[in-house]
Amino acid sequence: MNRSRGYRAFSKSALQDTEQALHGHFEVNYDYPVVFTDHLFDPENPCLHRQLTAQHGASASVLMFADEQLLQSAPALLKQIEGYFATHAADLRLLAAPIAVPAGELSKNPQALQQLYADMLRHGLDRHCYVLALGGGAVLDAVGYASATFHRGIRLIRIPSTVLAQNDAGIGVKNGINAFGQKNLLGAFYPATAVINDFQLLTHLSRRDQIAGLAEAVKVALIKDAAFFQWIEQQADALAHFDHPASRYAIRRCAELHLEHITGAGDPFERGNGRPLDYGHWAAHKLENLSGHRLRHGEAVAVGMALDGFYANAKGLLSDADSDRVLRLLRKLGFCLCPPELMLKDVQGRSQVLLGLEEFRQHLGGQLSIPMLKRIGESVDLHEIDTTLMEQALLRLTGCSNPVPGLSQGCTP
Ligand SMILES: NC(=O)c1ccc[n+]([C@@H]2O[C@H](COP(=O)([O-])OP(=O)(O)OC[C@H]3O[C@@H](n4cnc5c(N)ncnc54)[C@H](O)[C@@H]3O)[C@@H](O)[C@H]2O)c1
């Protein structure tokens, strides 16, 4: 047998097959409302019933997971929820009393995820059922990830219960948990069927969490909307005291800007490299981990924005005046910009927070892309960071060498 001739013949037909590749193509549209309301579980409030019955005529089966801390802070809530579903028993079926999920970041780990799957299995969830995720950004991330992966996807309605979740985390399409010591290492892009923001839930938050969520409003204003930034500056005192009209507007505008970017910038599943919404986040993620999640996400983002503001200023991108405005506003809102985690070194004497740059590069999939401010309202992506300049920015921040006259540093112990 002439092996080389046989090989040539095979190779030619294989080449033809390669040239005529099969082609798979389909498009999936996502369409979800972000509703703003008050007293969601008042039986007279139509928002939730409308969303649960919008897609099919038959009765909807519902399993609700709720943030443990929220249930403790709002003891009347469980009864309200049960009363709500009892009133709508004709077409809504609550499969069990709301299931408490560990508060905050404690929900975003593999053990807590296993428990969510076990609960879903125990209550016989299938893909026609709804999961209601009621909680802060952490609980939404964890329950969202469980919903995205259980039976390859259960219908999900998010009911964000923190400022940060209503203006940012609950609006988008990302879900996930922390694993192997890394923030959001495991996750899925999985849009909810609907997002329902109930302002009244926020009245149960500690003042600390009412303020922490404002960091994302400052962030999105800084990268996209100079007029909104100026409005936040004018309303800073009211916002720092969680004045309701000011807070409502800040949350809604921030949510609107996030939603516009996620759904309108053409890359909802983040296949490209540009991530303007991650302004200040490379350092924030590292700081959250270094603090063992003592720092809230929003608090860490505030520090990350201040650090990157100093870097952009040193790099000649951001003017002194704009850099001062950023710092002044963050402090006026009550953020501590010098947490002790900024000072941590590894055994080789390297700044631990700066190691977050490399982790962020890996998280992005190879090429570094860090949004930096050019001016208030506009950012640019940098693909290289000058570590010496970043170290200087860090020193400037930890030395707090640029205090705002007349204002405390806003640090809580
Ligand atoms: N998926 C996304 O697009 C996205 C975006 C931004 C942030 N995140 C994630 O969101 C998380 C941060 O979210 P967060 O700031 O809402 O913090 P969080 O979820 O940790 O909640 C903060 C604290 O408030 C408690 N809480 C929640 N609702 C309450 C209420 N109404 N009353 C009283 N206490 C309440 C929680 O139990 C927790 O102790 C982080 O894990 C972050 O990575 C995700």
Which atom in ligand 1 lies closest to the alpha carbon of residue 175? 1
What integer pLDDT is reported at residue 52 of this predicted model? Answer: 96
3-state SS class at 33: coil
pLDDT given for residue 58 in this prediction: 72
Give the closest residue (by CA) to ligand 1 atom 26. Answer: 70
- Atom 3, ligand 1: which residue's CA is nearest? 169
Q: What is the pLDDT of residue 404?
A: 43
Number of the ligand 1 atom closest to the C-alpha atom of 103: 37
Here the tokens at position 413 are: 């112990």
CA 105 – ligand 1 centroid, Å: 7
Residue 295's φ and ψ, nearest 5 degrees, are: -80, 135
Residue whose CA is closest, atom 8 of ligand 1? 169
How far apart are the C-alpha atoms of 312 and 306, rounded to whole Å? 10
* 330 vs 342: CA distance, rounded Å: 17
**pLDDT at residue 308, as a whole number:** 98
Work out which ligand 1 atom sits closest to the CA atom of 139: 19
C-alpha 162 – ligand 1 centre gap (Å):
6
- Tokens read off for 264: 């309108």
CA dihedral (170, 174, 179, 185) positive or negative: negative
Q: Rounded to 5 degrees, what angle do the CA atoms 411, 293, 214 make?
A: 55
Out of 68, 185, 209, 247, mutate this one to test ligand 1's pocket (max ligand atoms within 8 Å of CB): namely: 209
pTM, full prediction? 0.92
Residue 138 structure tokens? 């952490």
Choose among 271, 212, 219, 281: nearest CA to 247.
212
Q: Which atom belonging to ligand 1 lies closest to the Cα atom of 69?
A: 37
Q: Which CATH number describes the domain made up of 209-398?
A: 1.20.1090.10
- The answer to whether residues 165 and 104 touch, using CB atoms and an 8 Å cutoff, is no
pLDDT for the residue 258: 96
Ligand 1: residues within 6 Å at CB?
Answer: 67, 69-70, 73, 103-105, 108, 135-139, 141, 161-162, 164-165, 168-169, 172, 174, 184, 201, 204-205, 209, 212-213, 296-298
Question: Using CA positions, which residue lies closest to atom 22 of ligand 1?
Answer: 104
**Which pLDDT score is estimated for 187?**
97
Alpha-carbon distance 99 to 380, whole Å?
43
> What are the tokens at 373?
């401010």
CATH of 34-204 among 3.40.50.1970, 3.10.180.10, 3.30.160.270, 3.90.1580.10: 3.40.50.1970
Structure tokens at 411: 């640090």
CA of 141 to the centre of ligand 1 (A): 9
Phi, psi of 62 (to 5 degrees): -130, 135
CB 290 within 8 Å of CB 344? yes
pLDDT at residue 44 in the model: 97
Closest alpha carbon to 178 in 187, 170, 169: 187
Interior CA angle at 159 toward 112 and 131, to 5°? 55
The SS3 assignment for 265 reads coil
Most informative mutation of 39, 67, 247 for ligand 1 (most atoms within 8 A of CB): 67
If you measure from the C-alpha of residue 413 to the centroid of ligand 1, how many angstroms do you get, rounded to a whole number? 20
- Please give the chain's pLDDT, 413 residues, in tens: 455 555 555 677 777 777 788 999 999 999 999 999 999 999 999 999 999 998 766 789 999 999 999 999 999 999 999 999 999 999 999 999 999 999 999 999 999 999 999 999 999 999 999 999 999 999 999 999 999 999 999 999 999 999 999 999 999 999 999 999 888 999 999 999 999 999 999 999 999 999 999 999 999 999 999 999 999 999 999 999 999 999 999 999 999 999 999 999 888 998 887 788 999 999 999 999 999 999 999 999 999 999 999 999 999 999 999 999 999 999 999 999 999 999 999 999 999 999 999 888 887 777 899 999 999 999 999 999 999 999 999 999 998 644 444 343 445 43
> Which atom of ligand 1 lies nearest, measured to the CA of 174?
1
What does the alpha-carbon distance between residue 159 and residue 64 come to, in Å, rounded to a whole number?
10
Q: Ligand 1, atom 41: nearest CA belongs to which residue? A: 138
Q: Position 358: which residue type? A: E
- Cα 293 to middle of ligand 1, angstroms: 11
In the three-class reduction of DSSP (H, G, I as helix; E, B as strand; rest coil), residue 175 is classed as strand
Ligand 1 centre to CA of 103 (Å) is: 9
106: Cβ contacts below 8 Å, ≥ 6 apart: 112, 138
Asked if residues 265 and 273 have their Cβ atoms less than 8 Å apart, the reply is no
Give the number of other Cβ atoms within 10 Å of residue 109's Cβ: 14
Domain boundaries, the chain: 34-204, 209-398
pLDDT for 164 equals 97
